[in-house]
Structure 1
C-alpha cells in the first residue's frame, strides 16, 4: 500500500514509524515501472559494462572488407584484406578488432546481387554475435540515389536528390526513401548514409552538385526532413551529411581540404536549416565533412576534427545527441594536416562517435587505445560514444535478431510496385528548360521521316534513348562520343547530323575544364541547322556552356527511369513538370541565365 494513500487521521504513530514508512516508500518508488530503467537503457548499460576497453574501441570503427561472403577465400579478396588488415576476410576482421560496423561498396565485391548481399550481411552478423560482447554489427552503404547508388538493378533506383528537388514534393521524397530503406533492410543493410543535406549554392561544386536537393535552404530542409522520416519508417538509420555543409566549394574533399568562406550569419541562413530539420525529424546519425569553415572555427582544422564545430555547434547549439560519424578518413581532406595516428584521436576529442575507413586501420585502432592509456582520452569519453552506438543498434531492432531471410528478398527488392512508384516520382522531375519555337514535343514518327541521331555522353545512356525512340517508330543512329570528344570526332558527328532530321545530344558535366569537348560538340551541332535537343543527364548547369540550342532538358541523373521519362517528354507522352531547384548562371557570370524555379510545360 502506498504511503500517500493513508488517511491523515490514521497517522498517529510515532515519528520513528513514519521514518520506517518513508523508507518503505522510497523502496517502492524505485521498483515502480516509471523509475525502472527502460529496456533500451538496460541492454545498453549492461552491455557497455561487460565490454573490455578493446571491445569498446572496436565499436568506434566502421570499415570495408573485400569479398562476396563474410568468410571469403577468393585469392584476390584475401590478398586485399591481408594488405589492409592482416586478415583474410570480414569474419576475421571482426574477430580481430570487434568493429562496430562494415560498409559496402561495389569495388569491394560486396554488392553483386540482392541474394548475395543478404547472405553477406548474415555472415557479418554471425561473426559479430560470436564475439564475447555479442553486439550485432551496423551494416552501412551510400545508396543516395541518382549518380550515387552502390547497388544497381534489380534494386529500385532512386532519381537522386536534385531530381526530387525539381519535383518539389516532400511526399515523393519520403516515399522514395521509404522504398529505398525497405529494400536495403531486406538485404541486411541497416544504415544508409543519406540524405545529403548540403545546400549546393556553387555551380562549380565538384563533389556535391546533383547530390544536393537544391540551392534553396528551405527546400533542402523540407526534403531532408522528409527523407529522414522515410528511412526511419523503413527501420533503417539515415545519416544527414556532410555537416556543417559542403555545398559551397570548388574543391573536392577527396583530394584536398575545401575552405568554406561563409560568414557565421550566412552559415545560419544557408547551411544550418537542413541539418536542423533533420535533427527535428529525429535523424539518428549525422556525418561530418572534411571542410574548413573559418567563421565557425578559425583554427583551419577540418570540421571532422573541430571541437568548436562538432561539440560547440552540433552538440550544444543544435542540441544533437545522436551518433556522429566521420566521412571516410582516407580522404585527403581528413589527413591534409595530421597523421593517420592523430586523426582518429582528434576526431573523438572533437565530439565524433564513429570513425569511418581510416587509411591505416591498425594504426588508428591502436592510436585510440594509446590515447586512453596516456590519458589524452578518458574511458568515460569512449563510453559516451559507445553508448550512442549501442543505442542506435538497439533502436534499429538488431539486438534481438539482426539476420534477414534471403528467401524474402525478392518480395522487397525491385518489386513491380516499387518500380512503378519510383517511375511515377521520376516522371514529376524532368525539367524542360528551353523550347525554341516549340520544337518539343516531337511530332509522331512517320515512315521515311524523323531520322534521329542520338549522340553525346554515355554508351548505355545514348543507346537507351535511341532504343526507346525506336519503340515509338523513329529511325535512329547512335554515335557515343565520351566525356571529352576531340576535334575529329566532333567534325564527324556534325557531318552525320546533316543527314538526320533531329539530333538528341546528351551531356554530363560539360562545364568541367577537362570535358569542354562536350560543349564544343553541342555548339558545332547547332551550326549544322539540324534541330538540336540537348539533355543534361547530370548537372542542369550544362546549358550555360552552349550557344542557344533549340531545346534543353535536365534529368539530373541517367537512371533507367530518368531516361524513360526523358523520351516520353520528347514525344509528348508526358508533360514536363519539374522546376529548376537551382539557378543556372550565365557562363563566367553571376547573372542568371535561367532562374531558380524556371521550367516550361507543353
Structure 2
C-alpha cells in the first residue's frame, strides 16, 4: 500500500499521521499532503447526474464544489446530451462548465467544520467519463456529431491491428476535443460462449473469440486512443476480469461463470495481460480496468465453491491482482474502477427483497475489495429521497472512516495517489487552461468517414455459400428488369427523453443506398418503381395474421419480386418482430421460393442456424449498421465488391470453429531458412564482414554464403506461418523443427518452439559430421522448405535448399482472368469464307436469335397472356434467324468492319429481332381491330 502523511494539525486530533512511502511521486505527494480527508475521499467517487444543469443550485455543483467528487460520467439515459442538432457544441460547453465548477472551489475559502479553520481547496481536474462502444444506439452515448464509428466486432473481422489503431485514434481525438478525459473501453471480453438464443450476449461489443487476437486488437485500439487524444484520455479497459462466458446481461443480475483461475488466465485474463504488465509500450497500456460484477464457481479449483462478485471479494480480487502482469502494472499506477454500484444486479445481490439496500456499506465493500474508484449511477439507499442524498451520506461516511481508521486511511491515500498520478500524466500541471481543449478543435469532429469505409470494406464477410458456389447460385447482380423487396430490422432512438426521435436504421436504409449508387442518377442499373422497402414488423404482422390493410402490399410484392433482401440485426425474445425472418424461413418458405434470398447481418453473425442458412441464396456479415456498412452491403449485392473479411468468432450454424480456423493452414508450404540476424556471430555462425561505410562502393561485393562445421550453432527460422484465413497464426502456436540424419527417416531429432508474430525460431548445435536434412511442421501443416547440410570431418559446408513436394490438399486460389495478347490478323482474301458463314458465326447467330426470343418470352409474361408472350418470343427469334440468312446472301467486303469480323453479324441479327418484335406487335394490333369490328 502507498501511504501519505497527514500532517495538518488543523484537521483535528482524531486524525492520526500516516507514514509516506517513497514510491509515491514527489509531485503527487506534495498535492496529497495539502488535501483534507474530504478532498481525498472525494477523489474516489465517479458520479452521474440527471440533466444538464450545473449551476450553483444544482446537486452536481454541490457534489463537485463542496464534496470534491473526483469525476463525473455523462450518459444519454440521464439526459446529459442534446440532439439531434448541436450535440457536439453543447457537450463541449457542459464539460467546460463542470471543470469550471471544480476550478471555482479552489478560488474560495472553506471552513473545516471539524476544527473551524479556514482553508482553500486545491484545483484537481475532474475525470469526465463516457462509454462509447461504436455502432450508434444502443451502446453509444453520443449519437450525433461524432464520426459514426463501427463496433468492435466489425474491427475484429478485418484482422488488421492498424485499422483498430486508426479507429481508436479517431475516437480519442474526437472525445478529447469535447473535453472527455476518461473512456470506459475498449471491451477486452473474449466471446468464447455464444448465447444466441437469448440475444443478450456480448454481441458485437467484443473484438472476437480468440484471447490472443482480442489482446492484439485491444493493444492497437488503446494505442490509437492515446495518440489520437495526445495522451489526454485515460483508457479504462472493460469488463475485467472478463465476462465473455456469462449467460445474462450484467445490468440485471450477477452472472456466475464456472471457471478456475487457471482457466481464466488462459482465456479471459489473457487480453488484459496484453494491455497491462505485458504491454509492449506505454501507448498500448491501459490506464485502468473496469471491474465487472461477476462470480466464479470453482475459482480456486473447488467446483462447489463460488466467489462473491469479484468486485466485492477481497480474496479473489487480491489473488487475481497478485498475478505478475497485474502486480507490475498496479505498482506503476494502474487503477481499478468498479462497475456501476447502483445497477439492478448489485441491488438484487445485496438486497434480494428490495427492502434494505445499504448503499454506504456496498460502497465500503467495493472499496475494501480493491477498487480505487467507485462508479455511482442511480445509487440510492433504501429510505433516501434521491441519489444526491445517498452520495452525500456515503462521502461523509468515508470521511469519518478515514479519520477514525488508520488502515482505511492508508488505503484511501494509496488509491488517491494512483488517481492523481494519472491526472498529472494527462495534464502535467493542474490548471483550468490545461483541462479545456481549444474550441477550434471542434471543427475536426465528425470528419473521419474514410477510416470507417476502410473498415467496412475489410470487414464484410461472406458466410454462405463459399465463393465458388456463390457464382452458381448468384451468377449476376440485379438488373433493371428485376424487382427487389428490402425487409429491414429497423432501429430508432432518442438522444434524450425530450429530443426528437431518430431513425438510425430505417426500413428504407438499404434501398436508399442502392438508389444512390445504382439508380437513375448513377448508371441506371435499377429503377425506383421496381424497389420497395418494409420493416421486420411488417413481416411479423404478415406472418401472424396482421390487419390486411397493413400486410396486403407486402404479400403482393413478395409474390411478384425476383429478389428478397433482408437487413438483419439479432433475435431477442423481448422484440417479437426480431423473430420474423426465422419464422418466415421455418413456416412460410413458399413466400420466397424460386427467388434469390439475400441476408445481410448488420450485427453478430450467429443468430441463424444451419437450417435457416440452407434456405438462403447468400448470407453476409457486415457487423455494423453505420452508413458506410450499408453502402458496402449495396456494393456486395450488385457484385461491385467482394467480401474479404473473416469471422472473428465461432458460428455453429456454419460449422465454423475459430480455433480450427486459426490453426496453421495444411495447404501451405512453410518457409524455412537460416536466421541471419545481427547476433548470428554470437551463436557460432561465421559473421559476414561488412563494408567500410566511409568508402562508397560503386559495385557491392556479394555476401558469401555462410558455412557451418561441427561444433557450430545453426540458427533457423520459419517464414510467416498462416492460418486458414491467411492471417499469421497466433503467438504461441507450436512449431517443430525436425532433423533427419544420414537419410534415415527413422532417426529424427526435434526442437519444439512457438511462434512470435507468425514466425518460429530455433538453434541447433551440430554435433557430428554427416548428412543432415531439416524440415519444420506445425500441425496440421506438415510440409515445409527442406534444408540439407552435409558436413565433413573438419570441413565446413553450405546449407542447400530443397524444393518440397506440394501438400496433398491444393490451395484454392482465386481464378485469374488472363488477357490474351492481340495477334495480327491476316487480311482475308475475297474468295475466303465469309466470317458469318463459319461455325463461330453460326453459333453466335443462333445464340443471339434464340436468346433474344427467350428473353422476349420472359419479359412478355409480365404484361401479355401466355399465348401472346409465346408468339412474341417466336417472332423475335424468327426475325433474327431471317436476318442471319439474309446476311449470308449479301455478305460482301463492303459490309465488313476491319478488326471486328462479327460486328455486322450482331447488327443484322439484332435488327432482325427488333423487326420480329415489331411484327408481333402489328399482328396483335390487327387481331384487336378485327375483334372490335
The TM tier, using the shorter chain, reads 0.7 to 0.9
Q: Out of 219, 223, 226, which is 2:213 matched to?
A: 219
Q: Out of 604, 609, 630, which is 1:563 matched to?
A: 630
C-alpha separation in 2, matches of 1:102 and 1:483: 42
Q: Counterpart of 1:540 in 2: which secondary structure? A: coil
Q: 1:185 matched to which residue of 2?
A: 176
Q: 1:19 matched to which residue of 2?
A: none
Q: 1:414 matched to which residue of 2?
A: 446
Aligned length, in residue pairs: 542
CA contact (8 A) 1:68 1:110 kept: yes
C-alpha separation in 1, matches of 2:656 and 2:573: 19
- Equivalent residues in 2 for 1:146-545, closer than 5 Å: 146=135, 148-204=139-195, 206-234=200-228, 235=231, 236-279=233-276, 280=279, 281-296=284-299, 298-317=305-324, 318-319=326-327, 320-321=329-330, 322-338=334-350, 339-358=358-377, 359-360=379-380, 361-373=391-403, 375=405, 378-397=408-427, 399-400=430-431, 401-411=434-444, 413-415=445-447, 418-435=448-465, 437-438=470-471, 443=476, 446-447=479-480, 449-458=481-490, 460-471=505-516, 472-473=518-519, 474=526, 475-482=530-537, 485-486=540-541, 487-488=544-545, 493=554, 495-510=556-571, 512=573, 515=576, 516-523=579-586, 526-527=589-590, 528-529=592-593, 530-544=595-609
Q: 1:61 matched to which residue of 2?
A: 45
Moved more, 325-334 or 241-250: 325-334
Indicate yes or no: 2:520 matched with 1:550. no
Structure 1 runs, 4 residues or longer, greater than 6 Å off: 439-442, 598-602
Q: Counterpart of 2:259 in 1: which secondary structure? A: coil
C-alpha separation in 2, matches of 1:522 and 1:43: 66
Q: Counterpart of 1:62 in 2: which secondary structure? A: strand
Q: Out of 77, 84, 88, which is 2:58 matched to?
A: 88
Moved more, 287-296 or 489-498: 489-498
Structure with greater contact order relative to length (CA < 8 Å, sep ≥ 6): 1
Indicate yes or no: 2:91 matched with 1:117. yes
C-alpha separation in 2, matches of 1:156 and 1:62: 27
Q: 2:855 matched to which residue of 1?
A: none
Question: Cα 1:372–1:453, aligned 2, differ >3 Å: closer, same or farther?
Answer: same
Q: CA deviation at 1:212?
A: 0.9
Render the CA deviation track for 1:177-226: whole Å, top value 9, x for unaligned.
01100000000011111110000112117252210111111111111111
C-alpha separation in 1, matches of 2:575 and 2:599: 19
Moved more, 130-139 or 494-503: 494-503
Q: Counterpart of 1:566 in 2: which secondary structure? A: helix
- TM-score for both structures, normalised by structure 2: 0.55
CA contact (8 A) 1:439 1:551 kept: no
C-alpha separation in 1, matches of 2:217 and 2:629: 19
CA contact (8 A) 1:141 1:191 kept: yes
Q: 2:35 matched to which residue of 1?
A: 51
C-alpha separation in 2, matches of 1:273 and 1:60: 28
Structure (1/2) with the larger helix percentage: 1
Moved more, 59-68 or 89-98: 89-98
Moved more, 175-184 or 361-370: 361-370
- TM-score for both structures, normalised by structure 1: 0.84
CA contact (8 A) 1:344 1:367 kept: no
CA contact (8 A) 1:440 1:571 kept: no
CA contact (8 A) 2:536 2:580 kept: no
Q: Counterpart of 1:498 in 2: which secondary structure? A: helix
C-alpha separation in 1, matches of 2:474 and 2:450: 24
CA contact (8 A) 1:522 1:534 kept: no
Q: CA deviation at 1:494?
A: 5.0
Render the CA deviation track for 1:63-93: whole Å, top value 9, x for unaligned.
1123345339xxxxxxxxxxxxxx6253333
Render the CA deviation track for 1:572-600: whole Å, top value 9, x for unaligned.
222211111111114xxxxx633335889
Q: 2:847 matched to which residue of 1?
A: none
C-alpha separation in 1, matches of 2:174 and 2:193: 33
- Equivalent residues in 2 for 1:97-108, closer than 5 Å: 97-108=67-78
Indicate yes or no: 2:139 matched with 1:141. no
CA contact (8 A) 2:241 2:291 kept: yes
- Equivalent residues in 2 for 1:2-41, closer than 5 Å: 41=25
The Cα RMSD (Å) is 2.7
Question: Cα 1:228–1:437, aligned 2, differ >3 Å: closer, same or farther?
Answer: closer
Which ranges of structure 2 fall in alignment gaps of 5 or more residues? Answer: 1-21, 106-120, 351-357, 381-390, 492-504, 520-525, 662-723, 726-811, 816-933
C-alpha separation in 1, matches of 2:189 and 2:624: 18
